[in-house]
Amino acid sequence: MKKSFFWWDYSYFFEMNHEWLKYSSKNFEKKGHAVNNEKVARRMLIASEICKRIADDDIADNAEALDYLSEIIRKYSLTWWD
C-alpha cells in the first residue's frame, strides 16, 4: 500500500485516511476474529467513502460530511481493533 500524497492541503489528510480505512475494512472483514466484524468493516468503509468524497471535493457541504465523519470516529473508532 505505497502511495504518495500531496501534503499542502486538507485533501492529503482525507486521501490518506480514505486509503487506510478502506484497507483496514477489507482486512477486518476477511481476517477479523470479532463477532461483529462485518458491522465494524461497514462503518470503516462508510468513513473511508466520506474521506474520499471530501478529498475529491465531491460533497457540496463539507461541514455536514465532516460532522458525520467525526461522529463515526468518536463513537466507533475505539472498537476498530481485533
Using a 10 angstrom Cβ sphere, with 0-12 exposed, 13-18 middle and 19 or more buried, the burial of residue 51 is buried
pLDDT at 29: 87
> Given this model, what pLDDT does residue 48 score?
96
Q: Coil, strand, or helix at residue 12?
A: helix
pLDDT of 12 > 90? The answer is: no
Range of the domain at 61: 10-79
Rounded Cα gap, residues 26 and 17, in angstroms = 14
As a whole number, mean pLDDT of residues 13-30 equals 91
Query: Half-sphere exposure (CA, 13 Å, Cβ side) for 1?
Result: 12
Size (the chain), residues: 82
Percentage above 70 pLDDT, the chain: 85
For residue 56 the three cell numbers come to 475529491
Higher pLDDT, 27 or 33: 27
Note the pLDDT of residue 79.
81
In a domain, 52, yes or no: yes
| Assigned domain for 4 exists | no
Domain count, the chain: 1
